[in-house]
Amino acid sequence: MRANQLEAIIETKNLTKRFGDFTAVDHINLQTMDGEIFGFLGPNGAGKSTVIRMLTTLSEPSEGTATVGGYDIVAQADRVRKIIGLVAEKIILYPRLSAVENLMFFGELYGLDRRQLRDRVEKLLTMVQLQKFRDTSVGGYSSGMRQRVNIIRGLLHDPEILFMDEPTAMLDPQSIRFVRDLIKELNQDGKTIVLTTHIMEEADELSHRIGIIDHGKIIAADTPAGLKSKLGCQTLEEVFLQLTGKALRDSASNHVPMRRVMGRV
Ligand SMILES: Nc1ncnc2c1ncn2[C@@H]1O[C@H](COP(=O)(O)OP(=O)(O)OP(=O)(O)O)[C@@H](O)[C@H]1O
Ligand SMILES: [Mg+2]
């Protein structure tokens, strides 16, 4: 972590999101420090992705505010978008396009200069070891390869803050290790990272601090060691289950996210 780790780079104040009369995110107050990896944990449906969508300006809060890099997520959404990258929960890539074509397309949406963008794409493809498949359609990639493209898609404009929503879900052990090491490297290069994951060992290995959300409310926030010692637990999994219980979190509404309608790439 960098020296200025004590400064909050993300701050939410009573951040709330309602869908009809259902409150998905309920008055949360959270801080992410500059230069840290912040592990954002919670059971299925707890509200993690909804918080990330608000902080990345994809959806507006119903109540409350938040700043990212000092900018208000609603009033200064354009400024926020320039300094953040998002590795979304579901991969959005054009299957018929190659890695280079996908990345050039998304890079141009950021308004990046074509020549600079080309260099950046090559550098990022090298970083995730995909130069060899740069011109192959991503529809033919393995899940691990697609996720590596998805990750660098979020890095095209070299953002200060990176939101990663379950970046290791559904990957094989090799890809998981690769992505975890990449997250550490990106953080060592100075990026603040907000990471969601259901893998407790992963959160423990990577996070400087952890926030746990349940039923839309923050129920704990501390370092992994702090959480374990406070609750007298050996592992983060024990902490998590002690705080959130062992009951399954089945719920369903008539709302069907677009990604489920469209499938995933
Ligand atoms: N657009 C929407 N309309 C209605 N309900 C929604 C919408 N988006 C999310 N929800 C609901 O809000 C709750 C929180 O969802 P969210 O996706 O934020 O959970 P999560 O913590 O990311 O879960 P997971 O671990 O399964 O990814 C869920 O009950 C979900 O069904
Ligand atoms: Mg989610």
Indicate whether 123 pLDDT > 80: yes
36 with 5: CB under 8 angstroms?
yes
Q: Return all residues near 231 (Cβ < 8 A) that are at least 6 apart.
A: 238, 239, 242, 243
Q: Answer yes or no: is the C-beta of 29 below 6 A from any ligand 1 atom.
A: no
d(CA 162, CA 180): 14
Q: Answer yes or no: is the C-beta of 254 below 6 A from any ligand 1 atom.
A: no
pLDDT digits (tens, 9 = 90+) for 57-85: 999 999 999 999 999 999 999 999 999 99
Ligand closest to Cα of 43 equals 1
Indicate whether 254 pLDDT > 80: no
Residue 107 identity (one-letter amino acid): G
What residue's CA is closest to ligand 1, atom 5?
19
For the chain, percent of residues with pLDDT exceeding 90: 86
- Report the sign of the C-alpha dihedral through residues 158, 141, 38, 74, in that order: positive
Q: Return all residues near 203 (Cβ < 8 A) that are at least 6 apart.
A: 39, 41, 195, 197, 210, 224, 236
Give the model's confidence band at 260: pLDDT under 50 very low, under 70 low, under 90 confident, else very high: low
Indicate whether 265 pLDDT > 60: no
218 with 212: CB under 8 angstroms?
yes
Choosing from 16, 17, 19 the residue with most ligand 1 atoms within 8 A of its CB, the one to mutate for a pocket test is 19
Residue-range definition of the domain harbouring residue 245: 3-262
pLDDT score for 256: 66
pLDDT digits (tens, 9 = 90+) for 193-211: 999 999 999 999 999 999 9
d(CA 153, CA 196): 18
Whole-number average pLDDT of the chain? 93
- Exposed/middle/buried for 22, CB within 10 Å: 0-12, 13-18, 19+? exposed
Q: Answer yes or no: is the C-beta of 48 below 6 A from any ligand 1 atom.
A: yes
Picking from 78, 92, 67, 77, the residue whose alpha carbon sits closest to that of residue 10 is: 67
pLDDT score for 157: 94
Give the gyration radius of the chain's Cα atoms.
18
pLDDT score for 110: 85
Helix (H), strand (E) counts: the chain: 10, 11
pLDDT score for 43: 96
pLDDT score for 94: 96
Indicate whether 135 pLDDT > 80: yes
Structural domain count of the chain: 1
Which ligand 1 atom minimizes the distance to the CA of 48? 21
What CATH number is given to the structural domain containing 84?
3.40.50.300
pTM over 0.95: no
pLDDT score for 227: 98
pLDDT score for 121: 97
Query: Could you give the maximum distance between any two Cα atoms of the chain, in Å?
Result: 55
End-to-end Cα separation, the chain, in angstroms: 34
Q: Answer yes or no: is the C-beta of 253 below 6 A from any ligand 1 atom.
A: yes
Over residues 93-103, mean pLDDT? 97
Higher pLDDT, 70 or 260: 70
Task: Specify the DSSP class assigned to residue 95.
Answer: T
pLDDT score for 166: 96
d(CA 17, CA 13): 12
pLDDT digits (tens, 9 = 90+) for 14-46: 999 999 999 999 999 999 999 999 999 999 999
Residue 27 identity (one-letter amino acid): H
For residue 168, the CA-to-ligand 2 centroid distance in Å is: 13
For residue 28, the CA-to-ligand 1 centroid distance in Å is: 15
Indicate whether 261 pLDDT > 70: no
